[in-house]
């Protein structure tokens, strides 16, 4: 018996559906719409995913910066709740597209931006995903280091052989490497299987965090000094701008998922109406977990008589005398970093990489590429010596707000929830190629880019550029130009929405208008493709069942 070992192929496998016929430049199996038998996410999976996403160090620390600049804990938690209510509306709206058409964000972007124009949205998203994946690795590595220190206390005193200028110690590098290796098996898993990781995390981590909350109020009656502050230390216009700036900061942390929520909702097997669940759930879940961070940090300062509040959870945990508590506390944050790094960063980056080179990259390769790049970016050095760079990354929300607005209003208002799913995969189909007429030259050119989206995007981003420059280099004085940036996501979202709707009304792209939605199931029902021709009855091209038509109507 001869053992056959298949050699790895440079090119990834292509599907045999009508979506992929002669179309390797724009799709592969992972970009094709998810077929019925591959949709595994139910309501519990959706809930577990979002609870998992909320459980991370950033959520724990949301309120810390606001309290540090003079707001009370009540106002800080109010800002968190309001911000997540706003962002949940956009996440639900854009996530519904994926739940109906079962296609990822890079493909949906073609409808509003055009085939080539979609690269603006895709590249903007992938840059953010890769950098935050790298930075989240450092946070997870710190948790692993504390875990090792709880088991082997002398590890925390390990001699350091790395120059101080690198921003990391030998122990920190060990933690980073171990956490990076811990992620690799999950990076190779199909997104359908990852729902079990999110479910486990959404059970284990809340138990640990609730135990920490109980410890906080049992150890220090009243919760500590943070809860004693009755009024903010700022007032007037300074208070208003501070309120808006902190809201933008919170929105910036999750504005990415307002753009690419369809990367996950495409796997949903339940009605698209369940996307509305985000609207009440996100504000409640994120505000509650932020409250745990406030209570635990405040109690830690009072109990251990510290001069400053230990907002970093790893700092707080390091004060615990019980080694088992330190280990399991740090383990909860390591698991938290693992889950959110995959759900919010690596999977999103993988879909974007796949769209950029579908002949060579699939979701698995895209996630591994993201992991490799995380080393190349030396994130420990970024965290140690470039706080302005982190400000820039947080400020990246000014780019994603306009992108989310364009996609949202294109689907719900301009095209009235009606997309042609097959045309989204056919670059030669005029449906989403968009035309552009140059005055004096006559005729129209198939540009592949929706100029309306580009103009609206520029209008939404431009007012915030001076403030963005100042956030990167505070020595550059931009005067009142700093104010638009302080509510950049909201400004960009609203301004882009108005301009895009106005341009689409004055100069409608009539070629994108369809009388009814062309759903993926209709295309799959025709059968496979042989030599670029549909194997089943071609007369079924314009036939849609009543059930499929009702699926779209039920989504709203």
Query: Tens digits of per-residue pLDDT, 425-461?
Result: 998 888 998 877 554 445 566 578 999 999 999 999 9
Percent of the chain clearing pLDDT 90 (strictly above) = 47
Q: What is d(CA 416, CA 413) in angstroms, rounded to the nearest whole number? A: 5
Lookup: tokens for 187? 């990076």
Residue 534, pLDDT above cutoff 50: no
The secondary structure of residue 550, as a DSSP letter, is H
- How many residues belong to the chain? 556
Q: Which residue has the tokens 């005398």?
A: 321
Residue 90, Cα to own-chain centre: how many angstroms? 12
SS3 228: helix
Q: In 3D, which of 92, 67, 52, 84 has the Cα closest to residue 224?
A: 67
Least confident of 2-6, 40-44, 410-414: 2-6
Measure the CA dihedral 526/527/530/531, to 10°.
40
Please report which residue ranges of 38-72 form alpha helices under DSSP H. 43-54, 57-68
Model confidence, pTM = 0.88
Residue 502, pLDDT above cutoff 70: yes
Q: What is d(CA 482, CA 502) in angstroms, rounded to the nearest whole number? A: 27
Q: What is d(CA 103, CA 22) in angstroms, rounded to the nearest whole number? A: 19
- What is the chain's mean pLDDT, rounded? 84
Residue 173, pLDDT above cutoff 70: yes
Q: What is d(CA 17, CA 39) in angstroms, rounded to the nearest whole number? A: 17
Per-residue pLDDT at 329? 94
Residue 34, pLDDT above cutoff 50: yes
Per-residue pLDDT at 88? 95
Segment 325-346 shows an average pLDDT of: 91
Q: What is d(CA 267, CA 91) in angstroms, rounded to the nearest whole number? A: 16
Backbone angles phi, psi at 261, to 5 degrees: -60, -25
Select the highest-mean-pLDDT range: 105-119, 310-324, 432-446: 105-119
Instruction: Give residues with Cβ within 8 angstroms of 399, minimum separation 6.
Output: 124, 461, 492
Residue of 46 and 255 predicted with greater confidence: 46
DSSP secondary structure of 99-167: HHH---HHHHHHHHH-TTTHHHHHHHHHHHHHHHHHHHHHHHHHHHHHHHHHHSGGGGGPPP-S-GGGS
DSSP element (H, E) containing 38: none
Contact call for residues 156 and 171 (beta carbons, < 8 A): yes
Q: Residue 417: which region, alpha, beta or left (left: phi > 0; alpha: psi -120 to 50)?
A: left
Lookup: tokens for 140? 């997870």
Provide the b/e sequence for 148-180 (b: ≥16 CB within 10 Å): bbbeeeebeebeeeeeeeebbbebbbbbbebbb
Residue 81, pLDDT above cutoff 80: yes
pLDDT digits (tens, 9 = 90+) for 291-306: 999 999 889 988 998 8
DSSP secondary structure of 444-475: -EE-SS-HHHHHHHHHHHGGGHHHHHHHH-TT
Least confident of 2-11, 115-124, 497-506: 2-11
pLDDT digits (tens, 9 = 90+) for 466-488: 988 887 777 888 888 888 888 88
SS3 436: strand
Least confident of 130-139, 233-242, 271-280: 233-242
Residue 163, pLDDT above cutoff 90: no
Contact call for residues 76 and 243 (beta carbons, < 8 A): no
Per-residue pLDDT at 450? 95
Residue 1, pLDDT above cutoff 60: no
Percent of the chain clearing pLDDT 70 (strictly above) = 87
Residue 42, pLDDT above cutoff 70: yes
Q: What is d(CA 550, CA 377) in angstroms, rounded to the nearest whole number? A: 48
**What domains lie within the chain, and their CATH numbers?**
41-159+168-398 (1.10.4160.10)
- Helices and strands: H and E segment counts in the chain: 23, 4
Lookup: tokens for 371? 């992991």
Residue 539, pLDDT above cutoff 60: no
Q: What is d(CA 117, CA 436) in angstroms, rounded to the nearest whole number? A: 13
How confident is residue 407, by pLDDT bands cut at 50, 70 and 90? Answer: very high
SS3 47: helix
pLDDT digits (tens, 9 = 90+) for 521-531: 988 887 644 33
Instruction: Give residues with Cβ within 8 angstroms of 524, minimum separation 6.
Output: 17, 33, 35, 36
């Amino acid at each position: 018996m001869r053992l056959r070992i298949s050699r790895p192929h440079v090119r990834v496998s292509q599907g045999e559906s009508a979506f992929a016929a002669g179309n390797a430049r724009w799709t592969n199996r992972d970009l094709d719409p998810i077929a019925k038998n591959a949709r595994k996410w139910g309501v519990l999976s959706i809930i577990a995913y979002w609870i998992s996403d909320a459980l991370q160090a950033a959520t724990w620390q949301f309120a810390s910066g606001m309290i540090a600049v003079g707001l009370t804990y009540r106002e800080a938690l109010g800002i968190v709740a309001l911000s997540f209510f706003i962002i949940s509306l956009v996440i639900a709206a854009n996530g519904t597209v994926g739940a109906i058409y079962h296609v990822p964000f890079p493909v949906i972007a073609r409808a509003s931006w055009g085939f080539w124009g979609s690269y603006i949205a895709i590249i903007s998203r992938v840059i953010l995903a890769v950098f935050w994946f790298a930075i989240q690795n450092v946070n997870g590595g710190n948790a692993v280091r504390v875990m090792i220190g709880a088991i082997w206390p002398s590890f925390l005193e390990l001699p350091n052989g790395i120059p101080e200028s690198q921003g990391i110690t030998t122990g920190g590098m060990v933690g980073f490497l171990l956490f990076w290796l811990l992620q690799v098996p999950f990076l190779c898993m199909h997104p359908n299987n990852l729902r079990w990781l999110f479910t486990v995390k959404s059970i284990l981590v809340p138990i640990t965090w609730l135990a920490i909350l109980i410890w906080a109020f049992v150890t220090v009656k009243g919760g500590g000094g943070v809860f004693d502050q009755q009024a903010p230390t700022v007032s007037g216009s300074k208070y208003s701008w501070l309120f808006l700036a902190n809201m933008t900061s919170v929105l910036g942390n999750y504005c990415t998922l307002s753009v690419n929520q369809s990367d996950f909702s495409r796997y949903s097997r339940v009605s698209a109406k369940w996307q509305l669940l985000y609207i009440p759930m996100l504000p409640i879940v994120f505000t509650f977990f932020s409250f745990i961070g406030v209570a635990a940090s405040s109690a830690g300062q009072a109990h251990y008589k510290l001069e400053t509040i230990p907002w970093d959870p790893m700092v707080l945990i390091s004060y615990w005398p019980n080694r088992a508590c330190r280990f399991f506390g740090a383990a909860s944050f390591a698991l938290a970093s693992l889950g959110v790094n995959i759900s919010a960063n690596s999977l999103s980056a993988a879909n974007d990489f796949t769209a950029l080179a579908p002949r060579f990259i699939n979701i698995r390769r895209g996630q591994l590429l993201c992991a490799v790049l995380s080393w190349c970016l030396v994130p420990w050095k970024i965290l140690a010596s470039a706080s302005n760079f982190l400000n820039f990354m947080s400020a990246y929300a000014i780019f994603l707000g306009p992108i989310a607005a364009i996609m949202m209003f294109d689907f719900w208002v301009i095209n009235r929830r009606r997309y042609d799913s097959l045309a989204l995969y056919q670059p030669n189909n005029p449906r989403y190629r968009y035309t552009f007429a140059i005055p004096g030259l006559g005729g129209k050119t198939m540009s592949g880019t929706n100029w309306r989206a580009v103009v609206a995007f520029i209008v939404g981003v431009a007012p915030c550029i001076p403030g963005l420059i100042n956030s990167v280099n505070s020595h550059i004085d931009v005067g009142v130009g700093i104010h638009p940036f302080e509510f950049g996501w909201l400004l960009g979202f609203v301004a882009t929405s108005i301009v895009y709707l106005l341009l689409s009304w004055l100069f409608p792209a009539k070629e994108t208008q369809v009388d009814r939605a062309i759903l993926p199931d209709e295309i799959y029902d025709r059968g496979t493709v042989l030599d670029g021709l549909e194997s089943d009855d071609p007369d079924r091209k314009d036939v849609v069942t009543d059930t499929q038509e009702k699926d779209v109507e039920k989504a709203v």
